[in-house]
Structure 1
């Protein structure tokens, strides 16, 4: 469904470039998320037993709203939500063991785009927290410098620790963590936070040189020798808005087919 090719720039950042190998399968998973069935998607991705269930008509209406822009000439909020879901799916394929915040169910939500918690083998201690920025854009370098770097800089300075604590606590509590208070202490005081930027790219960024320029300045914003602190993920589409519209329409068709099974 999604293929990953390693990308990196020495000890500055590392990550992967994504390509879609099965759009229909991806659209089906997006449809399930839009219908509020993200836990079902997790079970599919982890290849565990799961029982499919058809959505209600009201759930279908909500899903279609998520998958449809309020203005056809301004699809960026819809596309932003779509890309966050794709990034969530990609992250669960890449690392199924980390705890991850569920996909947002509203366009342009003001919270974190994504939050991942890496636990030790006992599942009782947090090794690291990964804060995600996920952007669907036709001007990736501008988006990086105007939004992503300032966001990471603010987080490094600790100005959003209250939000980080709140969302991490909710995520831990929802997964029956044995000692969320201890875990939160680790997150805040031991500075075990890492960062992940996932972004759409075009023709100017799809080469090694293009990606190096795209993520220029990453280490100045997020310091430290460990390259794992600076994750970089790219998704190339030469005609981004057209592709997003296509995958959204496929997801709507898939959601309608699921609802029809319940009629």
Structure 2
């Protein structure tokens, strides 16, 4: 796994961890595999089932290169998409037994950045974790002005139909015995939890407290409902550009059929 998770000390407003990239080349390789449509294969690798990409075709590689290439003057959408893949990988590492939605395959997918389903021993849904992933150089203003209002919307009951559809798809893909019944039994108000993953220039107690200030006002209840994931990076855009170039190179190496 190219990402290491280091938990934060306990805090009443949030819990979470810092991400450290331990193998940039492997991260780029897995991003490339997701970009050619092999997220299911990558998730299998994460659970100890294989280590090589599957054969693909020239059109899939072309689409992958498009995903990994900056569109227009701003790299925001490309970087945001790659960061979602990083978030997806980190989620698999932290909760390997949960069911996690596959990554989006377009840049600006509006809505849920990700959804994680937690089941008990009887295959009953006990938790639904809503992901918000932000690759930004303006961390605090992004959290305050964009993320907290969105979480408040979810808390008020917005997007239940979208979450139900996404949850049914996740459960069906996992071969749950009765996805529709499992989704209909979800009490969305009590099951919802939140996971904000965001880039930031530093990770100290003071910087985290400032960054996550207001979390407990937007999402009330036990601290387990409020997860914060931080990827500290000083030069975000150049780092992401290098990662994209590495991923493109890996995509072009995949066997063509």
Aligned to 2:213: 216
Closer, same or farther in 2 for the Cα pair 1:107/1:219, shift >3 Å? same
2:78 aligns with: 78
Query: Equivalent of 2:252, from 238, 256, 259?
Result: 256
Kindly state the Cα deviation for residue 219 of structure 1 after the two structures are TM-superposed: 0.5
RMSD: 1.5
SS at match of 1:48: coil
5+ residue gaps, structure 2, are: none
User: Could you give the per-residue CA deviations for residues 154-206 of structure 1, whole angstroms, max 9, x where no partner exists?
Assistant: 00000221211121122222222223344224433562110000000014xx2
1:10-89 matches, within 5 Å, as 10-49=11-50, 52-71=53-72, 73-89=73-89
Unaligned runs of 5+ in 1: none
What TM-score, normalized by structure 2, do the two folds share?
0.95
Question: What's the offset of the Cα at 1:111?
Answer: 2.5
Alpha-carbon distance between aligned partners in 2 of 1:215 and 1:227, rounded to the nearest angstrom: 12
Question: 1:181 and 1:245 mapped to 2: Cα distance?
Answer: 41
CA offset at residue 55 of structure 1? 1.9
Partners of 1:159 and 1:105 in 2: CA distance: 24
Q: 1:176 is matched with which residue?
A: 175
Say whether residues 1:232 and 2:228 are aligned partners.
yes
Q: 1:178 to 1:6 in 2, by over 3 A?
A: same
2:103 is matched with 103
Equivalents in 2 of 1:50, 1:15: separation in Å?
29
Query: Runs ≥4 in structure 1, deviation > 6 angstroms?
Result: none
Contact 2:58 2:256 in 1 (8 A): no
Does structure 2 conserve the Cα–Cα contact (< 8 Å) formed by 1:9 and 1:212?
Answer: no
Task: Give the secondary-structure state (helix, strand or coil) at the position aligned to 2:148.
Answer: helix
**Hey, what's the Cα distance between the residues in 2 that align with 1:242 and 1:51?**
28
Q: Give the SS at the match of 1:121.
A: coil
Partners of 2:163 and 2:256 in 1: CA distance: 40
The separation in 1 between residues aligned to 2:104 and 2:193, in whole angstroms, is 21
